[in-house]
């Protein structure tokens, strides 16, 4: 067997050992680990602000997107001492753990270290460590034959309804078949209240457009409709981070969109190269998510 290739690099004053940089992680297009690390390094200025302070769940693909993968919440063995780790309670853990040592990706060295571990997908909760949720998120999941065009139409309906409550919504693709809308909120209400509000709005939109929208989890109800998944606001749930790669045949990315693109039904799967070009053109379209939003109205 060929010997594992390792090189040592300096990243913002941290010494990192990178391995097997020529390993292909996206076989359909020959996209290598080196290219994954390069993408995350280049996207870091707009990605890191959305990761800071949030307990990070990673989906790792050590043998590429066609191989076995696993979700990882706990810090892996060999985590460098300089990586920010937070020990947090995890009630209802499937592994009967009372706490988990979560990695928090606050800086570029941590991001490069994770990319070297083939942590292709980065998922975060709607809260920062020690705080109430500062984001409300709804996932728009189309049931075939519905697709991204139908998600766009529902996203506009959701945006307009939320605006009546004083909430600003910001769209992004999931990097797969769906979309998410995120709203900055005050960070003063518990996750149960945020989830209850999102559910109420989803049910309201379903009543208004029952042929195209469902707010119910049952998959048998989804064909031809867009499921508004309000449950993403549960404290135990995570959502793919903006600018995260996705494990698809191509290195697609969860991509922020303009509302003009959404109104035109122009959402699609963007690749890492396209996303870097979009950042050059638009900057961070989700920058306003980093600012405090209003409290949610909880009355019916």
pLDDT of residue 252: 98
> Mean pLDDT by 10-residue block, N- to C-terminus, for the chain (300 residues)?
78 97 98 98 98 98 97 97 95 70 98 98 98 98 96 98 98 97 98 97 98 92 95 96 98 98 95 98 98 88
Specify the pLDDT at position 221.
86
pTM to 2 decimals?
0.95
Q: How far apart are CA 117 and CA 71, in angstroms?
A: 12
Say if residues 176 and 248 touch (Cβ distance below 8 Å): yes
Helices and strands: H and E segment counts in the chain: 6, 17
3-state secondary structure of 261: helix
Closest CA to 251 of 231, 271, 267, 268: 271
- What is the distance between the alpha carbons of residues 57 and 228, in angstroms, rounded to a whole number? 23
In sequence order, the 6+-apart residues with CB closer than 8 A to the CB of 218 are none
pLDDT at 300: 52
- Set out the domains of the chain in order of their start, with CATH numbers: 6-124 (3.90.920.10), 135-290 (3.30.70.3300)
Contact 85, 103 (CB under 8 A): yes
Give which of 182, 161, 215, 152 is closest to 291, Cα–Cα: 182
CB 180 within 8 A of CB 239: yes
The CA distances from residue 140 to 54, 85, 97, 177, in Å, are 23, 31, 31, 9
> Residue 5 burial by CB count (10 A; 0-12/13-18/19+): exposed, middle or buried?
exposed
Torsion of CA 101, 103, 104, 108, to 10 degrees: 160
């Amino acid at each position: 067997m060929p010997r594992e290739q390792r090189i040592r690099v300096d990243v913002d004053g941290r010494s990192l050992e990178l391995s097997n940089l020529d390993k292909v992680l996206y076989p359909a297009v020959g996209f290598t680990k080196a290219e994954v690390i390069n993408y995350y390094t280049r996207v870091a200025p707009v990605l890191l602000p959305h990761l800071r302070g949030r307990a990070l769940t990673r989906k790792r693909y050590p043998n590429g997107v066609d191989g076995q993968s696993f979700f990882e919440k706990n810090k892996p063995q060999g985590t460098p001492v300089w990586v920010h780790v937070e020990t947090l309670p995890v009630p209802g853990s499937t592994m009967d753990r009372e706490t988990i040592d979560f990695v928090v990706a606050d800086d570029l060295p941590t991001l490069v270290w994770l990319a070297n571990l083939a942590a292709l997908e980065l998922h975060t909760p709607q809260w920062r460590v020690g705080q109430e949720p500062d984001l409300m998120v709804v996932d728009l999941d189309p049931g075939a034959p519905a697709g991204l065009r139908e998600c766009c139409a529902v996203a506009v309906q959701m945006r307009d309804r939320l605006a009546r409550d004083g909430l600003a919504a910001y769209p992004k693709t999931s990097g797969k078949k769906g979309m998410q809308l995120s709203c900055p909120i005050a960070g003063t209400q518990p996750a149960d209240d945020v989830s209850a509000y999102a559910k109420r709005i989803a049910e309201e939109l379903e009543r208004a457009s029952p042929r195209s929208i469902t707010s119910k989890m049952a998959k048998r109800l989804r064909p031809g409709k867009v499921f508004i998944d309000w449950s993403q606001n549960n404290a135990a749930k995570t959502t793919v981070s903006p600018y995260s790669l996705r494990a698809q045949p191509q290195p697609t990315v969860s991509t922020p969109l303009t509302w003009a693109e959404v109104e035109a039904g122009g959402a699609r799967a963007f690749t890492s190269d396209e996303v870097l070009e979009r950042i050059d053109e638009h900057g961070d379209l989700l920058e306003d998510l980093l600012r405090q939003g209003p409290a949610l109205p909880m009355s019916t």
